[in-house]
Amino acid sequence: MHALSNADLHCHSVVSDGTLTPELLAARAKAHGVELWALTDHDEVGGQERALAAARAQGLPYLTGVEISVTFATKVVHIVGLGFDHHNEQLVNGLRATRGGRGARAREMSEGLAQVGILGAYEGALRYAGNPELISRTHFARFLVETGQCYDVPEVFRRYLTEGKPGYVPHRWASLGDTVRWIREAGGMAVIAHPGRYGFTPTEEYALITEFIGHGGRGIEVVTGSHSAADILQYTDTALEFNLLASRGSDFHSPEESRVDVGKLGEHLSGKLQPVWTALSDRIHWPPSAH
């Protein structure tokens, strides 16, 4: 298991804010040489049965996954859960409560956009959201690109959907402690997603990592779609310093939008690191042919 090099343990389907179904993602992962796959939709485990079945059909080893939004030091931080029981009641109920604010937030975002002359944004975004409970900024961004308000998704975020802009509405997410507890009590492992993306000061990052470990968090993403070569070196050192297991995932959402395709991360984890899957080997769902 340690020698496994092409694990992709972070991607999104239509169940949250991706554009492909779990079935198409499984086929794409297999075609791109993925050796271990996890679907990690935002705040939602509703796609796990489909992903499991699709992985089995493709002969692809699979870990259950989710990406949970957490408020920490006034920023939104993402925690990936891997290898948990996706039927666990506490986890399912916690995620439902976290998602609960999205609908009201989406209507407020639409009102903000209407004030600058962009009408019908809620209805437009809803067309892109496979799950109305999970309507998000990404769905609004796709609508604004489709209607010609912006050239691409990054431009939408810059002009309309970040703090201080007309379509930005903050959401109070789950706490770090609750999130790590839900994942652990469902038998899984908590992993800090794409740490290089948050823009924390060294002091804030130290606070995040030490609190995360204090709650029982055990992993950190080292190789991920948004990390530069310098980020990968930095978080390799961080994982070693804090004795964290290392994870790897593309954070793939869409063939049109994502910087890195599922299974196409060029960088591998350093041999100095212990990969998350070595501690989750008993949680991997193996296809019938593999065992």
Residue 131 has a pLDDT of: 74
Q: What is the pTM of this model?
A: 0.85
Mean pLDDT of the chain: 93
Tokens of 19: 């554009």
Instruction: Quote the CA–CA distance of 129 and 133 in Å, as a whole number.
Output: 9
What are 21-74's pLDDT values in tens digits?
A: 999 999 999 999 999 999 999 999 999 999 999 999 999 999 999 999 999 988
What are 139-180's pLDDT values in tens digits?
A: 999 999 999 999 998 999 999 998 899 999 887 788 999 999
- pLDDT confidence of 291, banded at 50, 70, 90? low
The percent of residues in the chain predicted with pLDDT above 70, rounded, is 98
Instruction: Quote the CA–CA distance of 58 and 289 in Å, as a whole number.
Output: 10
Residue 100 has a pLDDT of: 76
pLDDT higher than 90, residue 259: no
Instruction: Quote the CA–CA distance of 266 and 289 in Å, as a whole number.
Output: 28
Higher pLDDT residue, 291 or 229?
A: 229
pLDDT higher than 70, residue 290: no
Residue 171 has a pLDDT of: 76
Residue 97 has a pLDDT of: 86
Using only the alpha carbons of the chain, give its radius of gyration. 18
The backbone region for 115, taken as left when phi is positive above 0, alpha when psi lies in -120 to 50, beta otherwise, is alpha
| Residue whose token pair is 């499991």 | 52
Name the burial class of residue 111, with classes exposed (0-12), middle (13-18) and buried (19+) by CB atoms within 10 angstroms of its CB. middle
Instruction: Quote the CA–CA distance of 291 and 289 in Å, as a whole number.
Output: 6
- Residues with Cβ within 8 Å of 142's Cβ and at least 6 positions away in sequence, in order, are 125, 128, 153
What are 72-98's pLDDT values in tens digits?
A: 988 899 999 999 999 999 999 999 988
Higher pLDDT residue, 213 or 138?
A: 213
Reduced to 3 states (helix: H, G, I; strand: E, B; else coil), residue 245 is: strand
Reduced to 3 states (helix: H, G, I; strand: E, B; else coil), residue 192 is: strand
**Neighbour tally for 135: CB within 10 Å:** 24
Of 30, 82, 38, 36, the C-alpha closest to 57 is: 30
